[in-house]
Structure formats: structure tokens, C-alpha cells
A and B are shown apart, each in its own frame.
Chain A
Amino acid sequence: MIRDHKLWTWHIAAGLLILCLLGLHMAIMHLDALLGIFNPAGGHPIDWQNVAARSQSLFFLVSYVLLLGAALFHGFYGLRNILFELDPAAPMKKSISWVLILIGLGLFIVGGWAAWTSFQGAIVA
């Protein structure tokens, strides 16, 4: 019971962190015509030169990894809550939790690897 209460508090805290970081990400990617921030090469935010420039930045490395972790936790914990409300039996609840943890960890490794490799590639270059 206490464990779930703590997880719920983390869920809310992660949501607030996502609000800031994803808000920034959305502003960079989708309000570019209005704001035009963090796109040094001009053009579209997903043009390689802009993507590479952001990948080279320590700020974006840290914020991407933080956003990745927070969003995966927030999303999969939210999904777990929705599935648990459908009232599955106890062994099924355990299986759901483990499957979601493993998928979340797998995605964190893939996303973290991409952020770190692009950052390192930029340093080597």
C-alpha cells in the first residue's frame, strides 16, 4: 500500500518534469515558425544539421535522458493503473507489472544509447 502511494507521488512528479521538458521539446519541434529556438541551421527542426547540433549539446543529452526516463515511468505506470482497474487476478497483476517494467527498461536502454552515441559521435567528430 505504501509502495503504491510512493509510486503515485513519483507519477505526479514525473508528470511535472515532463510538462517542462516535453513542453520545451514541443515548442522547439512544433512551434518553430513562431519561436524558432534551438534550430541553429534554420529550416526545419528535424533537418540533420539541427538534430546534430542539439545532439552535441550537453543540455540536450541530459534533458533527453531525463525526459526519456520520466515519460517511460509516467506512461507505463499510468497504463498499469488502467489495467489494474480492470480488476485482473493477483498473478496477472504481477505479470503485467513485470512485462511493463521490462518493456520500459528496454526502451530506456535503446533511447539512452541513441542519446549517448549521438553525443559521443559529436565529441569524436
Chain B
Amino acid sequence: MPEIREHPNRLGIRGWLGGGRWGPDRYLYSLHRLTGLGLLTYFVLHILLTSSRALGQGAWEQSMARVSGPIFLVGEYLVFVAFAFHAINGVRLALAELGFGVGKPIEPIYPYKTVVDVQRPWIATVLVLTGILILVGALDFFVWH
């Protein structure tokens, strides 16, 4: 008898690439994961690098000199962008998890209204707020300094 698994994920990572009938919700899901993985990678390196402050001023300045220059500045800005999106979209997800912004249960009368429709304005809000933060961040990183 074949083994029965409870939650088969037949598409695997390929499922992150296509929105299918979920549209923007699915792309935000993929983007949330990608930014999360990027932030985790950065965070691990960040812990190791910034721990040098415990060894004094010389060690700290040596570590910072290793990660200075335009390439690292752009990399750091991308981390800021990832954080801005992940944080704001994370608030949307947490609120949805707690039952906010998902609508009330209604009778399924055609044309059916689903939670996806209720979430669309929230998604637009996430994108607008992220865009504003990305813009302010860009000014701070590249213009005001």
C-alpha cells in the first residue's frame, strides 16, 4: 500500500513562481519568503561581524572597513528594502491570522465574494507604505548622506 502523506506539496519551490488564480496574494507570499530568507542570511553574517565590537575599537573599525564601499552600501539598501516589505506585509499577515481584514462569513451566493477580494485593499496599502519607506530610505542612503 502506498504511503499517504497529509500535505503533499507537488509544486515545491516552483509553486512560488506562479501566482495562478491567487494572483497578487501568491506573489506577495513568494516575496515574503524570499525577503525572509535574504534577511536571515544577512542577519547571520551581521551577528558574526558586529560581535567584533566586544574586542574593542581596533577590531570594530577593522570589521567595518571590510564591509565599506559602494557595493556594500547598495547591498545594505537592499536589506533595508527587504525589511520594509517583510515588516509591513508581516503586519498584514499577523492581522489576517488574528481575523482582522478577512471579512465576515457570508452565504455563498453567486457571484461569490472571497477573502481574496477583501484582502485586495490591504495588499494595496502594504505596497504603498512599502513604496514610501523605500523612497525615504533611498533618500537617507544616497542623498542626505
Q: Which of the segments B19-27, B40-48, B112-120, B121-129 contacts the partner chain?
A: B40-48
Establish whether residues B137 and A48, one from each chain, have CB atoms under 8 Å apart when the complex forms.
no
B64 touches A46 (CB 8 A): yes
A104 to chain B, nearest CB (A): 10
State whether the Cβ of B37 lies closer than 8 Å to any Cβ in chain A. yes
Contact A78–B51 (Cβ < 8 Å): no
Across-interface contacts of A118 in B (CB, < 8 A)? 53-54
Total A-B pairs, Cβ < 8 A: 86
B60 touches A48 (CB 8 A): yes
Q: State A39–B145 Cα separation when bound (angstroms).
A: 15
Tell me how far the C-beta of B64 lies from the nearest C-beta in chain A, rounded to whole angstroms: 6
Contact of B60 (CB < 8 Å), options: A30, A51, A113: A51
**Inter-chain contact B53/A55, CB cutoff 8 Å:** yes
Task: State how many angstroms separate the Cβ of A75 from the closest Cβ of chain B.
Answer: 4
Please measure, in the bound complex, the distance between the C-alpha atom of A62 and the C-alpha atom of B94, giving whole angstroms.
25
Q: Does A107 belong to the interface (CB within 8 Å)?
A: yes
Residue contact A75 to B39, C-beta cutoff 8 Å: yes
CB 8 Å contact bits of A31-61 with B (1 = contact, 0 = none): 1111000000000001010011001000000
A110 within 8 Å of B (CB atoms): yes
A22 interface neighbour in B33, B47, B87, B141, Cβ under 8 Å: B87
Task: Indicate if the CB atoms of B91 and A121 lie closer than 8 Å.
Answer: no
**Those of B5-44 within 8 Å (CB) of chain A:** 5, 7-9, 12-13, 33, 36-37, 39-40, 43-44
| Chain B 80-98 per-residue mask, 1 if CB under 8 angstroms from chain A, else 0 | 1001000100110010010
User: Chain A interface mostly helix, strand, loop or mixed?
Assistant: helix
Tally B residues with Cβ within 8 Å of A.
40
User: How distant is the Cα of A121 from the Cα of B61 in the complex, in angstroms?
Assistant: 17
Bound-state Cα–Cα, A48 to B60, Å: 7
A85 contacts the other chain (Cβ, under 8 Å)?
yes
Q: CA–CA, A78 to B44, complex, Å?
A: 14
Q: Which of A18, A79, A118 has the most CB of B within 10 A?
A: A118
Known contacts: A48-B60, A107-B47. The answer to whether A79 contacts B137 by CB under 8 A is: no
CA distance A39 to B7 in the complex (A): 50
Neighbouring B residues of A105 by C-beta, 8 Å? none
Please give, as numbers and ranges, the residues of chain B lying within 8 Å of A68 by CB-CB distance: 47
Q: Which residues of A contact B91 (CB under 8 A)?
A: 19
By a CB distance below 8 angstroms, the chain B residues around A71 are 43
Q: Is B144 an interface residue (CB 8 A)?
A: yes
Give 3 closest A-B pairs by Cβ, nearest first.
Answer: A33-B144, A114-B51, A117-B54
